Amino acid sequence: MYGLAVRWSLADAPDDVDEKLRDYVEGTSLARFSAMDGLRFKTWRTRPGEWFEGTYVFETAAARDEFAASFAEKAAESPGSQIIGSAPVLQESFDVIAVAEGQAGFAAGPGPRSTRS
């Protein structure tokens, strides 16, 4: 399996960016990537106020590399960049050595609305 990480800094993003990103992912992006050919899975990760990242795992290196090249051309205008107010600070390809499914099983769909106490 073949991975790609795309990360944005949230250091200079608007105060409501975390909520706007969650709304965008749940309302639009989740469905788009759930139907993507060649994609095994995508995970959206965040450290609120610090960074936001899309982590993709593709079936083949060719699928990953094609997506990475296409995204790099339009990254600064992507919906994530528009919401955050800046282009990604990192786009990095990697190899996935293994994926383990634990006893709790794999769950697709949105995560918790907030991890802050």
Question: Six-digit token pair at 92?
Answer: 């990095």
**For position 108, what pLDDT does the model report?**
79
How far is Cα 58 from Cα 49, in angstroms, rounded to an integer? 28
In order of start, what are the domains of the chain with their CATH numbers? 2-95 (3.30.70.100)
> In 3-state terms, what secondary structure has residue 63?
helix
**For position 117, what pLDDT does the model report?**
41
Instruction: Give pLDDT tens digits along the chain (117 positions).
Output: 999 999 999 999 999 999 999 999 999 999 999 989 999 999 999 999 999 999 999 999 999 999 999 999 999 999 999 999 999 999 999 999 999 988 888 877 777 766 554
- What is the 8-class DSSP label of residue 27? I
Cβ proximity of 66 and 54 under 8 Å: no
Amino acid at 50: E
Q: Among 87, 49, 59, 86, which residue's Cα sits nearest to residue 1? A: 59
Cβ proximity of 3 and 64 under 8 Å: yes
Q: Among 6, 3, 2, which residue's Cα sits nearest to residue 78? A: 6
> In 3-state terms, what secondary structure has residue 96?
coil
